[in-house]
């Protein structure tokens, strides 16, 4: 009878032993990787994850303008929500612009509503479409506050520039030349636009950073010496004008620390190395395609900052799919890469 009782208890004993074995947890150094395999070999490459507790992930989007293509930015916001960034930044040209204040406010209202659907905070950067005359500048300052500013998030510093920081008189002169050039583009195309006086102004390539703005940025840099990385967001490329001492003074202030520059304006992607750092020009996120000028596409940039540095991933909007295997919203109906667009 005793043997019979032991036989009856045997399944329970075996189960207890199995549960005990399965519950034996091995903690790897650091404590974030746990498993129940006591001896090797192991079915993985390494047990130290490639991240740290202070890892920051944020997204960058580019120009919407030059003839914004309907719904592209809406899809971009939905795609960025899928990626779950902590912050979203950009390189300007957020609205098309106008001479009429009522129309400017309508455009900002439209952009604000769409940007407001992002789950993460969106930091605004001004471009020439947003700031290149007195009416646009006034609207920006009344609606958005300062045209240039800085934000520190944890141990990362963001410097947001206004590259249309001209005197009001020069701003109005450039604005009129730009209006004339846009009329040429509308009537004769962008090839004709490229031959206009506006398109060949040094300011169209480099913009302007005033002495006051440069002083502000240098102070922000000096007051945040302990950050692990600095990101500069701007629309135009002030370093393209080697005589712009205000910009050079900002570069000098940054020379001993790691930083990355993001800019836009030309609607085609380019990576440039300057001062041993990455200066990255984004393509578009709903703006007009200009494939003859270079790599043109709708994109967002995914940035990861960890102990190893800043890691940049360019994501084509055409390839960011939701769990159904499709682009969110009406993204399947949109052309997000010029090589995929039907010829007109």
Q: Count other C-beta atoms under 10 Å from residue 120's C-beta.
A: 18
Segment (H or E) for 56:
strand 56-61
At 19 the pLDDT is: 40
> Which residues, listed in sequence order, are joined to residue 299 by a DSSP beta bridge?
316
User: What secondary structure letter does DSSP report for 177?
Assistant: H
Task: Provide the pLDDT confidence category of residue 208 given band limits of 50, 70 and 90.
Answer: very high
The alpha-helical segments, DSSP class H, found in the chain are 2-22, 72-83, 101-115, 128-131, 134-144, 168-188, 190-193, 202-206, 211-222, 245-254
Least confident of 20-29, 31-40, 177-186, 221-230: 20-29
C-alpha 60/C-alpha 320 separation (Å) is: 14
Are 288 and 67 within 8 A, CB to CB?
yes
pLDDT digits (tens, 9 = 90+) for 28-70: 776 678 899 988 899 988 887 777 778 999 999 999 998 899 9
Least confident of 44-48, 78-82, 170-174, 318-322: 44-48
How distant, in Å, are the alpha carbons of 88, 96, 121 from that of 84?
A: 10, 28, 11
- Which is nearest to 154 in space by CA: 218, 90, 229? 229
Sequence-distant (6+) residues with CB within 8 A of 333 are: none
Q: What tokens does 106 get? A: 């309508």
The residue extents of the domains of the chain are: 2-35, 56-165+207-335
Question: For the chain, what percent of residues have pLDDT higher than 70?
Answer: 92
Residue 215 and residue 253: Cα distance in Å, rounded? 10
| pLDDT of 106 | 98
Q: What is the 3-state secondary structure (H, E, C) of 71-122?
A: CHHHHHHHHHHHHCCCEEEECCCCCCCCCCHHHHHHHHHHHHHHHCCCCCCE
- Residue-level pLDDT at 30: 66
Residue pair 299/278 in contact (Cβ under 8 Å)? The answer is: no
Which of 155, 171, 154 minimizes the C-alpha distance to 163? 171
User: 24-28, 109-113, 175-179: which range is least confident on average?
Assistant: 24-28
C-alpha Rg value of the chain to the nearest Å: 26
pLDDT of residue 141: 98
The burial class, CB within 10 Å (0-12 / 13-18 / 19+), for 152 is middle
Q: Are 136 and 104 in contact (CB under 8 A)?
A: yes
Q: How far apart are CA 120 and CA 51, in angstroms?
A: 21
The CATH number for 56-165+207-335, chosen from 3.40.50.150, 3.50.50.60, 3.60.21.10, 2.60.40.10, is 3.60.21.10
Strands 156-160 and 229-233: parallel
**Amino acid 272: pLDDT:** 97
CA neighbours closer than 13 Å in the CB half-sphere of residue 131: 29
Confidence at residue 7, expressed as pLDDT on a 0 to 100 scale:
46
101-115 vs 134-144: helix axis angle to the nearest 10?
40
Structure confidence by residue, pLDDT tens digits, 148-182: 999 999 999 999 999 999 999 998 898 889 889 98
Beta bridge partners of 303: 58, 312
Flag whether pLDDT at 218 surpasses 80.
yes
* DSSP secondary structure string for all residues of 178-220: HHHHHHHHHHH-HHHHTTSTGGGSHHHHH-B--HHHHHHHHHH
Give the three-class secondary structure for 35: strand
Which DSSP letter does residue 280 get? E
Pairing label, strands 156-160, 149-153: antiparallel
Q: How far apart are CA 91 and CA 216, in angstroms?
A: 19
């Amino acid at each position: 009878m005793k043997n019979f009782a032991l036989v009856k208890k045997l399944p329970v004993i075996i189960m207890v032993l199995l549960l005990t074995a399965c519950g034996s947890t091995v903690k790897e150094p650091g404590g974030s990787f746990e498993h129940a395999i006591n001896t090797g070999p192991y079915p993985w490459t390494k047990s130290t994850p490639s991240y740290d507790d202070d890892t920051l992930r944020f997204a960058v989007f580019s120009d919407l303008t030059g003839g914004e293509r309907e719904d592209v930015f809406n899809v971009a916001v939905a795609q960025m929500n899928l990626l779950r960034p902590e912050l979203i930044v950009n390189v300007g040209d957020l609205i098309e612009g106008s001479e009429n204040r009522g129309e400017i406010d309508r455009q900002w209202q439209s952009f604000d509503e769409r940007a407001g659907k992002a789950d993460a905070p969106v930091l605004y950067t001004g471009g020439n479409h947003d700031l290149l005359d007195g009416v646009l500048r006034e609207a920006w300052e009344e609606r958005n506050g300062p045209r240039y500013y800085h934000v520190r998030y944890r141990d990362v510093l963001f410097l947001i520039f206004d590259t249309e920081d001209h005197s009001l008189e020069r701003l109005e002169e450039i604005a009129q030349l730009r209006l004339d050039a846009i009329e040429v583009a509308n009537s004769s195309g962008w090839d004709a636009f490229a031959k206009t006086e506006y398109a060949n102004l040094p300011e169209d390539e480099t913009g302007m950073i005033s002495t006051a703005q440069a002083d502000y940025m240098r102070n922000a840099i000096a007051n945040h010496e302990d950050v692990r990385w600095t990101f500069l967001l701007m629309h135009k490329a002030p370093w393209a004008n080697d005589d712009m001492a205000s910009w050079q003074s900002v570069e000098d202030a940054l020379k001993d620390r790691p930083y990355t520059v993001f800019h836009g304006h030309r609607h085609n992607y380019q990576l440039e190395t300057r001062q041993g750092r990455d200066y990255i020009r984004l393509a578009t996120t709903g703006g007009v395609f200009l494939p003859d000028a270079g790599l043109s596409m709708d994109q967002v940039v995914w940035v990861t900052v960890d102990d190893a540095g800043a890691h940049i991933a360019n994501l084509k909007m055409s390839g960011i799919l939701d769990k159904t295997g499709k682009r969110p919203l009406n993204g399947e109906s949109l052309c997000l890469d010029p090589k995929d667009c039907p010829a007109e």
